[in-house]
Structure formats: structure tokens, C-alpha cells
Amino acid sequence: MLVLLAIGFLIWGLRQVSPEKHYLLLVLYCFLAGAVLLPGLSREELRRMLKELSVSRKTGFLFFVTGLIIALFVTEIWMRNFLVMSDSANSLMNESWYRKHWSCNVYQYRDYAVQKRVPEGTKRILVLGDSFAAGHGIDRLEDTFPQILARKLPPGFTVNTIAKPGFDTPGEWKALNRYPVEPDILILSYVYNDVDYLVTDRSFKTRTSAPVRFFISNYHVASFLFRHLWTPVMSQSNRYASALSSTYKTPDLWKKQEQLLHDFVNYAKDKQCRLVLIVWPNMANVSYFTDDLSKVTSFFSGQGIDVIDLSSHLKGRNRSELCVNRFDNHPNERVHALAGELLYETCMGKGSQEIVLPRESITL
């Protein structure tokens, strides 16, 4: 019976089975298991089996294992149906958040429809970036900084977003050139990990066996435990940060990044549009990439580009004040609001150096 219970749990949890069929499959399995087990036992045999179990030394162990399987089953149901939360580790919990909160336009960007024709005199603003610009972890699209900027601007402006999770600098460059409209103002949202394509040492990645991949790909409990509690995976983020920082400090690699950043400057000159740079630090540790990101800000400042360095506005803040939640290192709604305000002040030609994130007690 214990084996049948475990097998039933494994079959029910498979992601290949559509969510609406999970419970139907479970009921069917229990019915079949009962049809196999119960008819074969007479009342006397059942009574004798229960008596043997009551005096057996293995009874406690069997009850423990059965209780564990039931607890895992109940937890799995709860996580699948009620735990909808983003994270930075791409767990199944994060996928549930995407299914509920992530929707895209025809160009597969998290944005509203693009107006190809606008009234004469209208200025187009394009926000180019990765998951920070797309609003990973922000439940409502209107709470992302591009939409906050759009609401603050006076009539005569349109704002659209070209951003996807996982975009690095080359990916953003390609997306910009494929976009159907050209900007009057281009906002480049630069994140410390935009140099990911230059990281040569990938030893920080944790390798997993086929059985482990099976469980973390199909079961929310296993995925959560592996992504957030297993020590090698937890230390992976620290090793990844070190690899990124090393990329900035390696002259040959930084030169490649600098050449690509120069393409954005040339694009703005060729298209006769204004280029604005907003630089995002690591939300979990604002000061970690300070020296590395100073290379980016210095390069663009030297080209006469308006630069918003969020590190100076977020200095001294801890992780709980800046991140979406304890599992997600993306900026929360308050940081998006700050970014939107700073961009508004910059786009309208007003000073933004004195704007800081107000201190509030937040419970995440």
C-alpha cells in the first residue's frame, strides 16, 4: 500500500499532466488501488493484518513514511495552487508567478500594444533592458518603472519597453535593431550582469543528475528545496557574482563590452535620438559592483550621455528595503517608483540628484 501511495504521488505530480487533470488522475488512481487491494482481503485477513501491525517493530517506521508522503502530497498541492511567488532561481514557484502575472504584446515583450502611427509631434520613448526593465517580480505591469514614467509624462509622449529576462548587452542590441519603431529618446537600462555573455568560467554552475533533474522539473517541493535550501546551489550566486566582477576587471573582456556599448552611442547619433542610461546595482548588495559599474557610468558620461546611477540613490539600504521578496533579488515596487521618478526628471530636463528612496519599514 505504501508503494502504491508513493507511486500515485509521483504520477500525480508529473508536469506533463495538465493541471486540470491532476485531481481526476488522483481519484482514479485511488479507486484502482482500492479495487486491487481491498477485494483480495477477507474480514479475518484484514483483522489479522491490523493485529500484526499493532505489535510489529516496523509499524512506527511505516507510519512515519506514510505520514511523510502524505505531508509531501499536501505541501505539493498547496505550493501548486496557492504559493505564487517570483524568485531569482527559476524554480517551479517562479513559473507559477509567470503564468499568473506575465503577459506579452505581439512582439513578445511585457508591454502594451505598440502604436506604429502616432500624431505628429509625438515623441517616442523606448526602454531597453532585461528582467529589471520588464518588471520581474512586479505583479502589475503598471507598477514597473517604464509605465510609471509614461503616466508622469505630459501628453505628447509614448513609452514602450523592449525587455526580456535573460537579455545581455548583445541581446538588447539585436532586439533594438529588430524593433518596428525608432525612438526619439532611448533609455538603456543597464544591469551589472549584462556582461554575462563574456563570462568564460562557468564552473559556478551546479551539475545535476538525471533523477534530480526529473524531480526538480516536475515537483514544486523538490524544486523549492533544491533551488533555495541546498548549499551548493545557494553558493552558486556568490560564485556567479565573482565571475561577473572578474569580467569587468579583465581588460580584454571589458574592451569588448565597451565596444558594444559604443554601438548604442553611435545608434543614438545616427537616429538623432537622445540616449539616457540608468544603471542598476545588485539589489541584494548595492555596493558589491560599485567599482565595476563605475566603468560603465564613466564611459557614457565621457560620451556626453545623461546617466542615472541608482547606486548613489540606494546607498546604505539593505536587501529587505530593495528586493521583491526574500527569494527574488529584483527591485521591488518602491525602487521602480524611484527609477520612474528619476527618469521623468531627466527626460524633462530637471535635476534628479537629490531624489532618494524614502525610508520605510517593510516586511517581506
172 has a pLDDT exceeding 60: yes
Q: Report how far residue 258's alpha carbon sits from residue 253's, in angstroms, rounded to the nearest whole number.
A: 9
Query: Measured at the alpha carbon of residue 186, what is the angle toward residues 185 and 187, in degrees to the nearest 5?
Result: 115
Lowest mean pLDDT among 129-138, 166-175, 238-247: 238-247
> Highest-confidence range of 53-57, 58-62, 136-140, 349-353, by mean pLDDT?
136-140
Q: Report how far residue 273's alpha carbon sits from residue 275's, in angstroms, rounded to the nearest whole number.
A: 6
Could you read off the pLDDT of 312-356 as tens digits, one per residue?
A: 999 999 999 999 999 999 999 999 999 999 999 999 986 555 555
Find all residues with CB under 8 Å of 253, minimum gap 6, and list them. 195, 198, 200, 247
- Residue pair 330/136 in contact by the 8 Å Cβ criterion: yes
Find all residues with CB under 8 Å of 141, minimum gap 6, and list them. 103, 110, 111, 112, 135, 147
| pLDDT at site 8 | 53
286 has a pLDDT exceeding 80: yes
**Taking residues 71-94, what's their average pLDDT?**
91
| pLDDT at site 338 | 97
What are the residues facing 158 on neighbouring strands? 124
Is the pTM higher than 0.75? Answer: yes
Question: Please, what are the domains in the chain?
Answer: 2-82 (no CATH), 105-200+228-347 (3.40.50.1110)
- Residue pair 281/314 in contact by the 8 Å Cβ criterion: yes
Lowest mean pLDDT among 34-38, 60-64, 132-136: 34-38
End-to-end CA distance of the chain: 42
Question: Cell 532561481 belongs to which residue?
Answer: 89
CB count within 10 Å of CB 359 equals 9
**Taking residues 170-185, what's their average pLDDT?**
97
Q: Report how far residue 362's alpha carbon sits from residue 332's, in angstroms, rounded to the nearest whole number.
A: 11
